Structure formats: C-alpha cells, structure tokens
Structure 1
C-alpha cells in the first residue's frame, strides 16, 4: 500500500521578513501538532541565480500511511489551527495538495 502526502506550497509572500518571523512558531509548530503523520518535511526554495522570482517560497510535506488517515488528520482541531495560520500567513498565495506517494523513500 502506498503512502499519502499532504503538501502545502507557499507562494512568494508579499513581505518575506514578516512571513519568516511567524513561520516557525505559527505554521511549522502547528504542522507538528497535526496527528497521525509518519514524517514531516519542511523546505525553502532556493533563490534563482538571475534574481527572478521563484515559482514558490516554502513547502511543508506531511506523510501518512494511507489516504484515510490523511483525511482523518485534516479534520482535527489541530489541522484547523494549522489551516487558519496558513490562510493568515500566506499573503502571496498557497496551494494544498493530497498525493499518492508511488515510491516511498523507506
């Protein structure tokens, strides 16, 4: 059985310094409290060498053992707090995806 991954893609914020000042405490800590995940990955997109805007700014990936567990997780109060903070902090836009992981890393 394959895993399910929830990916949050934060587009470039209107004020990167304000986003960064709140990201760890308000977003990453909230993601850590969402139940049931196997692992969590947080990443920041490398800047482009030519100085042009990147296609995204940051990402958070939460891996679950299956789709049903991921669906259950996003309906919890902890996920509600995460999504509330996400909506508030993602001033440049945000995308949330649920994916079937076809080749798990372990």
Structure 2
C-alpha cells in the first residue's frame, strides 16, 4: 500500500481553515479515483506534551504504486491539489510513503 501524507502547520485562522477543509477540500479528496481510505488526524501535542510543529495530518491510502500514479494524474486529484494550494499552500508539506504490511 502507498499513501500521500499531508502535514499542515497551524493556520492563522483555524475556524476558516477547518470550515474550508471540511466543506470543500475533503469532498474533493473523496472523489479521487483509487482512493482506498482517507484519514485525518488533528495533532494534540508533541510526545512530551508541548506544542507540536503541525496542526493536522491527512493520509490518503492507495492499493499500489500504479493506482497511486493514475490517481495523481486524474482530473479529480488536480482539482483537490489546486484547492489545497489555494487555502493552505504556505502551510502544507506533502510526502509519499510505502506502508509495510505485517
């Protein structure tokens, strides 16, 4: 399995970010073909109880590399990517990872 991980720093306007993320961005993400599962985690703190460097983590899971590559080229993903850049381009870091199945 492969996943796209998006890490968001705390936005200047948390309420506006949350509303846009929930009402606009997630519905776009859910339309991406080949998406097996999407997970959103709101970060509480770092491991020592202090302030974490990130506010939110989103993970999009795909069955394999081929499905992932096709999804990334899709019009649905292009719409989601354009959207994320419009409201969070300055606070998001994206990475790709392979999930080890045990």
Report the TM-score, using the length of structure 2 for normalisation: 0.86
**2:81 corresponds to which residue?**
83
Asked if 2 retains the 8 angstrom alpha-carbon contact of 1:13 and 1:91, the reply is no
**2:7 corresponds to which residue?**
9
Find the residue that maps to 1:85 and give its secondary structure: helix
The CA distance in 1 between the partners of 2:61 and 2:67, in whole Å, is 10
In structure 1, stretches of 5+ residues that fail to align are none
Aligned length: 100
**1:94 corresponds to which residue?**
92
The CA distance in 1 between the partners of 2:89 and 2:70, in whole Å, is 27
The CA distance in 1 between the partners of 2:90 and 2:41, in whole Å, is 17
In structure 2, stretches of 5+ residues that fail to align are none
What is the Cα deviation at residue 34 of structure 1?
Answer: 0.7
- Pairing partner for 1:71 from 69, 89, 98: 69
Q: How has the CA–CA distance of structure 1 residues 62 and 91 changed in structure 2, closer, same or farther, with 3 Å as cutoff?
A: closer
RMSD: 1.8
- Pairing partner for 1:61 from 56, 59, 63: 59
Determine if the alignment matches structure 1 residue 25 to structure 2 residue 20: no
Report the TM-score, using the length of structure 1 for normalisation: 0.83
